[in-house]
Structure 1
Amino acid sequence: MGRIVALDFGMKRTGMAHTDEMQLIASGLTTVATPELIPFLVDYLKTETVDVLVVGEPKQMDNSASESEELIQAFLKKLKAACPDLNVARQDERFTSKLAVQSMVASGMKKKKRQDKALVDEISAVLILQAYLDRKPFI
């Protein structure tokens, strides 16, 4: 069984999270500058087996697509060309950034550390991955 990797895609940087090989525990992986994301994923796939790549799906409150969805679609097209065999799933990412900051506050993290946007993006990716795991049926 391979890992599941999740992305909190952003214009400047993308937070990443992954599971263990048993696909039970979601944990932060890193934050990557978005222009370097596809080469990073290609290298990652050389060393790790990935069953699914979960990409956050930004939606408005009325369930319509967010403005950033256009950028994500362009990324997914490039990703498909670079990694044609990679399975991609989408997961609603509404409120993940807000929940990430709340979890940082709840854990007692200092204000200076909470202002680290790369860390917020990574934690957001963990929340996206956990939401995907919560809705994924166990076999």
Structure 2
Amino acid sequence: DLHSHSHLSSSMVYAYDASENVEGTVTLYLPQGKKADHLGIKVQFFGRIDMQHHSTEGRPHYDFISLSKELAPPGPLYQPKTVLPFHFRNIEKELETYRGRNISVKYFVRAVVERKFLPPIHQEQEVIVQICGTEPEVNEAIKMEVGIED
């Protein structure tokens, strides 16, 4: 039996600059001495706009980024702990993370373990995206002479 387990607390959030690569590891845990067969392990990266009161084509959200990478082909897992690194490089993240009353913009990574005859195991981790621009140049003081005629 394959169990999904995470060391991340719900208060832990990872922040990225819009130009940074998103990378990390997916860690799978098995009970000691157990084996688990799977139909593939993948990691996905999403950029999503959630609309609380409106929907686009009947859907309450719109995925403007949807990427997927295979981490492991189908086969058995034997180790009590399996660590699989992932990298999403050169992703154009043009919107900042935002939470508003009617709409929100969020990014998240989802790990998925496909299983035969059982629903897939998946876990998501939200990431914050900030767009850090350069500071504007300091303008020099402007001297002005104003003349008033009578």
**TM-score normalised by the chain length of structure 1:** 0.24
Larger relative strand fraction: 2
Larger relative helix fraction: 1
The structure with the largest alpha-carbon Rg is 2
**TM-score normalised by the chain length of structure 2:** 0.23
